[in-house]
Amino acid sequence: MELLPLWLCLGFHFLTAEWRSRSGIAIAASQRGCKLVDGVADCRGQNLASVPSHLSPRLRTLILDANPLKTLWNHSLQLYPLLESLSLHSCQLERIGRDAFLEQAGLRRLALPDNSLSESYKETAAALPRLQALQRLDLSGNSLTEDMAALMLQNLSSLESVSLARNTIMRLDDSVFEGLGHLKELDLQRNYIFEIEGGAFEGLTELRHLNLAYNNLPCIVDFSLTQLRSLNVSYNALEWFLASGEEATFELEMLDLSHNQLLFFPLLPQSSKLHTLLLRDNNMGFYRDLYNTSSPQEMVAQFLLVDGNMTNITTVNLWEEFSSSDLADLRFLDMSQNQFQYLPDGFLRKMYSLSHLNLNQNCLMTLHIREHEPPGALVELDLSQNLLSELHLAPGLPGCLRSLRSFNLSSNQLSGVPTGLFTDARNITTVDMSHNQISLCPQPAGLDGVGPPSCVDFRNVASLRSLSLEGCGLGALQDCSFQGTALTHLDLSGNWGVLNGSTVPLQNIAPTLQVLSLKNVGLSTSFAELDFSEFRNLRDLDLSGNSLTTFPRFRGSLALQTLDLRRNSLTALPQRAVSVQLMTSLRTIYLSQNPYDCCRVEGWGALQRLHTISDLAMITCNLSSKVIRLIDLPRSMPQDCKWENVDMGLLYLVLILPSCLTLLVACTVIFLTFKKPLLQVIKSRCHWSSIY
Ligand SMILES: *[C@@H]1O[C@H](CO)[C@@H](O)[C@H](O)[C@H]1NC(C)=O
Ligand SMILES: *[C@@H]1O[C@H](CO)[C@@H](O)[C@H](O)[C@H]1NC(C)=O
Ligand SMILES: *[C@@H]1O[C@H](CO)[C@@H](O)[C@H](O)[C@H]1NC(C)=O
Ligand SMILES: *[C@@H]1O[C@H](CO)[C@@H](O)[C@H](O)[C@H]1NC(C)=O
Ligand SMILES: *[C@@H]1O[C@H](CO)[C@@H](O)[C@H](O)[C@H]1NC(C)=O
Ligand SMILES: *[C@@H]1O[C@H](CO)[C@@H](O)[C@H](O)[C@H]1NC(C)=O
Ligand SMILES: *[C@@H]1O[C@H](CO)[C@@H](O)[C@H](O)[C@H]1NC(C)=O
Ligand SMILES: *[C@@H]1O[C@H](CO)[C@@H](O)[C@H](O)[C@H]1NC(C)=O
Ligand SMILES: *[C@@H]1O[C@H](CO)[C@@H](O)[C@H](O)[C@H]1NC(C)=O
Ligand SMILES: *[C@@H]1O[C@H](CO)[C@@H](O)[C@H](O)[C@H]1NC(C)=O
């Protein structure tokens, strides 16, 4: 019975869909055109099969990206003799006519990425030398081999920047970049280069930036590109980096060797201007134990260099090579994710300018802080995720770490830090000591004076602003642990019982705190209401994972923007007064995973209207033994919550009834509309059968 209208509907729908898509094509065709602004024609994605001919002859920039050109025909650009920049990104180009650029003597930038120029590379290679003024050429993503690349770059002596990224180049010899005397920038990333012959970059006297990232280079020995400013060899398979022993001055400023398999600290040029050295994710270490020598001076490595049928053995004294390299300008040193168990004495001392040192994820067990080591310029020190159980501070060293601003000691095995470490660091603003088992000074009376002071003292560290003590196994805080600081960010989460049910231990910093995390600290409101009224500047408060049964008090704290109350024991929503007052500033509130009583959710409507609840759909309430989502509750709540005793089946029936009724009415209407034809069908059938 209902089938017929359904079919009709579907038929109509298909008809309209078809009509729409046809008209869509019509519109695209009529709009086939380019945006022209200030000598720039943007014809991106216009489904063009050839270069448009209706554009201004004074065009300087033409963008034809994402058009299925396939071939750039001879003379197809002759209408635009003033063209300086041409972009043909993703144009399915296989062929560029020998004479395609005959009239383009002024073209300076040509971008041909993501095409198929390997298909007829010889003709393309013959076309390119017409571009006498070409400075930038992008050939990335064209499946070019080294021979094709060499041919294409032949005679393009004006080039300053070339990208051959994402091709299939495997080795480089001295023929590939021959004659590119003006080249400054060369991008070879994401190829399969496993070998670079000596002399491959020889003629490139102007080369400044070389990117070899994402290749298969096993080592770099005898590195002698003195003119280079930045070298990126990240994501290769390097086991060695060995600069040539020459005394020449290297211009190198940035060296990225991250994500390789280096075993030793790279042996850098003796004289360079290096300011950034990135060594993340290698296998480096210092091998005092392996060599079984008392001093690093005796560590020697022998390199076997095989070049054709020639074999050379080079012996390198690792420590002397290291100490002869010039690191006076080094500012950023990233040694994270390596195997360092220790840093040799004097290792950091010669890096006078070092401002950022990252030693995250190594195996350091102790660290000695001495005069000039780490250097006084250090601003950021990351020692997180090591095995540090001890920090040593040389005695009588006032003001070491005086520039330090951020000190990350997260996830180590520290039980304390040397006395005065943080107070001496006059500029320190951020300390992360999370996931170390420590206790804070002052310790509760009774524990004082037992053995050496093993507590960590943050009192009177006046510059400190941000402190993370997450998961430190802290006992109940004493009242003045943060006295004399002006903390704005404090993370105490995961320290069970740290506040012992009241905010009093934080009263010293209550006026300054902006972000406070008290996640999983065992707060309960069985004794008294938690009171955050003193926290006038608090913006962000995390109270999730506690056992709060009542809403905390925020009488004066009108700055609060984010409040997290998930996973508590709240049974009622905040009182109307509380919520109205809070909502003036609050932007985000999380309320889910609490056992609200469905009969005590009066403020719900008001809360919902304020659009601040981020986990709206996940808030549930308990009704006898059932759990119901709050958004599924009927809007108007009976005052005395009578339906509490009503059987749930009945409740669902009440919820479903309106929908059922609507359906029923719809069915009736349909039935009545098609009743007549249907009856006729039945009649005719009957009639037919009666003949039979
Ligand atoms: C361009 O012209 C040359 C002759 O000058 C011809 O050999 C070549 O096939 C032409 N290329 C295209 C793509 O038409
Ligand atoms: C480069 O120039 C030389 C000599 O002028 C010529 O023999 C060679 O064919 C040219 N190569 C290309 C690809 O045009
Ligand atoms: C080195 O190249 C890789 C890949 O392009 C890039 O992710 C990385 O940021 C580069 N390194 C530097 C220091 O620019
Ligand atoms: C290291 O050398 C000392 C003597 O210098 C020796 O007693 C010790 O066994 C050696 N250790 C290893 C691992 O070779
Ligand atoms: C081997 O060493 C000799 C002398 O030190 C040097 O002339 C030669 O270039 C080296 N060969 C290789 C392949 O490094
Ligand atoms: C290396 O091989 C070449 C030819 O393959 C030969 O001329 C040369 O003398 C050889 N050199 C050595 C040191 O064996
Ligand atoms: C602390 O930092 C300020 C600027 O951030 C700087 O001027 C001052 O020299 C630093 N103090 C020390 C002791 O380095
Ligand atoms: C400290 O290091 C840990 C782990 O590397 C990181 O998660 C945390 O964000 C860092 N802390 C700071 C303040 O940067
Ligand atoms: C926690 O507070 C209660 C009373 O408020 C007090 O009796 C108890 O000693 C406190 N515990 C600690 C460890 O301070
Ligand atoms: C609410 O329901 C949950 C899940 O059934 C249950 O674990 C919790 O004890 C109930 N809470 C109350 C207060 O009834």
Q: How far is ligand 7, taken at its centre, from the CA of residue 660, in Å?
A: 73
**Ligand 8 touching residue 337 (CB < 6 A):** no
Q: How far is ligand 5, taken at its centre, from the CA of residue 312, in Å?
A: 6
- Per the structure, the count of domains in the chain is 1
Residues 410 and 433: beta-carbon distance below 8 Å: yes
Angle CA 305–308–310, to nearest 5:
55
Angle CA 453–457–458, to nearest 5:
180
Query: Per-block average pLDDT, block size 10, for the chain (692 residues)?
Result: 37 37 35 79 92 90 94 93 95 94 93 95 94 96 95 94 97 92 96 92 94 95 91 95 84 96 90 95 84 65 74 75 82 96 87 95 93 90 96 81 94 91 91 95 66 78 96 90 94 92 89 95 78 89 92 78 92 70 80 87 73 84 84 65 54 64 74 59 43 36
Q: What is the rounded distance in angstroms from the CA atom of residue 271 to the CA atom of residue 248?
A: 7
**Residue 613, in any domain of the structure:** yes
**Residue 571, in any domain of the structure:** yes
Closest residue by Cα to atom 14, ligand 5, is 312
Q: Phi-psi region for residue 114, left (φ > 0), alpha (ψ -120 to 50) or beta?
A: left
Q: Are strands 71-72 and 61-63 parallel, antiparallel or unpaired?
A: unpaired
Q: Is the Cα torsion angle 519, 522, 526, 530 positive or negative in sign?
A: negative
Closest residue by Cα to atom 5, ligand 3, is 213
**Residue 251, in any domain of the structure:** no
Closest residue by Cα to atom 14, ligand 10, is 622
Closest residue by Cα to atom 3, ligand 3, is 213
| Cα→Cα distances 314→58, 244, 300, 609, 660, Å | 61, 11, 10, 76, 88
Q: Which atom of ligand 9 is nearest to the CA of 476?
A: 13
Q: The tokens of 538 are what?
A: 């608090």
pLDDT at 233: 97
Q: The tokens of 594 are what?
A: 């609490």
Tokens 């006297």 -> residue: 205
Q: Which atom of ligand 7 is nearest to the CA of 376?
A: 14
Q: How far is ligand 9, taken at its centre, from the CA of residue 497, in Å?
A: 10
Most ligand 7 atoms within 8 A of CB, residue of 379, 401, 427, 430 to mutate: 427
Closest residue by Cα to atom 2, ligand 7, is 427
Q: What is the rounded distance in angstroms from the CA atom of residue 217 to the CA atom of residue 227?
A: 21
- Ligand showing the shortest atom-to-Cα distance for residue 470: 8
State phi, psi for 545 to the nearest 5 degrees.
70, 30
**Ligand 1 touching residue 98 (CB < 6 A):** yes
Most ligand 8 atoms within 8 A of CB, residue of 379, 382, 433, 515 to mutate: 382
Burial class (CB in 10 A: 0-12, 13-18, 19+), 313: exposed
Q: What CATH number is given to the structural domain containing 594?
A: 3.80.10.10
Q: Which atom of ligand 10 is nearest to the CA of 622?
A: 1
Burial class (CB in 10 A: 0-12, 13-18, 19+), 390: middle
Closest residue by Cα to atom 2, ligand 10, is 622
Q: What is the rounded distance in angstroms from the CA atom of residue 34 to the CA atom of residue 59?
A: 12
Q: How far is ligand 5, taken at its centre, from the CA of residue 384, in Å?
A: 44
Q: At what angle do helices 675-691 and 648-673 cross, to 10 degrees?
A: 70
Q: Which atom of ligand 9 is nearest to the CA of 527?
A: 5
Tokens 């023929």 -> residue: 175
- Ligand showing the shortest atom-to-Cα distance for residue 475: 9
Closest residue by Cα to atom 9, ligand 9, is 500
Give every CB contact of residue 386 below 8 A, 6+ residues apart in sequence: 359, 360, 361, 362, 363, 364, 365, 411, 412
**Residue 549, in any domain of the structure:** yes
| Helix-then-strand count for the chain, H and E | 10, 36
Residues 326 and 271: beta-carbon distance below 8 Å: yes
Most ligand 3 atoms within 8 A of CB, residue of 164, 231, 232, 259 to mutate: 232
pLDDT at 660: 66
**Ligand 7 touching residue 402 (CB < 6 A):** yes
Q: The tokens of 480 are what?
A: 């003045």
Q: Which atom of ligand 7 is nearest to the CA of 427?
A: 1
Which stretch of DSSP H or E encloses residue 23? helix 3-30
**Residue 244, in any domain of the structure:** no
| Cα→Cα distances 172→109, 145, 199, 446, 609, Å | 25, 10, 9, 73, 66
- Ligand showing the shortest atom-to-Cα distance for residue 593: 10
Fill in the DSSP letter of residue 147.
Answer: H
Q: Which atom of ligand 9 is nearest to the CA of 502?
A: 5
Provide the CA 51 distance to its chain's centre, in angstroms: 40
pLDDT at 488: 96
Q: How far is ligand 9, taken at its centre, from the CA of residue 63, in Å?
A: 73
Q: Which atom of ligand 1 is nearest to the CA of 71?
A: 13
Per the DSSP assignment, residues forming a β-bridge with 136 are 109, 161
**Of residues 252, 306, 260, the one with CA closest to residue 281:** 260
Residue ranges making up the domain that contains 530: 504-641
Q: Which residues line ligand 2 (CB under 6 A)?
A: 125-126, 129, 151, 154-155
Most ligand 2 atoms within 8 A of CB, residue of 155, 175, 176 to mutate: 155
pLDDT at 628: 86
**Ligand 3 touching residue 215 (CB < 6 A):** no
pLDDT at 296: 60
Q: How far is ligand 10, taken at its centre, from the CA of residue 232, in Å?
A: 58
Q: Which residues line ligand 10 (CB under 6 A)?
A: 595, 622, 627
Give every CB contact of residue 275 below 8 A, 6+ residues apart in sequence: 253, 254, 329, 330, 331, 332, 353
Closest residue by Cα to atom 13, ligand 8, is 432
Q: Which residues line ligand 5 (CB under 6 A)?
A: 305, 307, 310, 312
Q: Which atom of ligand 1 is nearest to the CA of 100?
A: 1
Q: Which atom of ligand 7 is nearest to the CA of 426?
A: 13
Closest residue by Cα to atom 11, ligand 2, is 154
Angle CA 411–415–416, to nearest 5:
105
Q: How far is ligand 1, taken at its centre, from the CA of residue 99, in Å?
A: 7
Q: The tokens of 84 are what?
A: 């300086």
Q: What is the rounded distance in angstroms from the CA atom of residue 385 to the CA atom of residue 369?
A: 19
Q: Which string of b and e fits 473-505 if b means at least 16 CB within 10 Å?
A: ebbebbeebbeebebbbbbbbbbeebbebebeb
Q: What is the rounded distance in angstroms from the CA atom of residue 281 to the CA atom of residue 185?
A: 26
**Residue 525, in any domain of the structure:** yes
Peptide bond preceding 453 in cis form (omega within 30 of 0): no
**Residue 602, in any domain of the structure:** yes
**Residue 522, in any domain of the structure:** yes
Type of residue found at 307: D
Q: The tokens of 392 are what?
A: 């040593």
**Of residues 465, 463, 442, the one with CA closest to residue 453:** 442
Tokens 């070339």 -> residue: 162
Per the DSSP assignment, residues forming a β-bridge with 468 are 432, 491
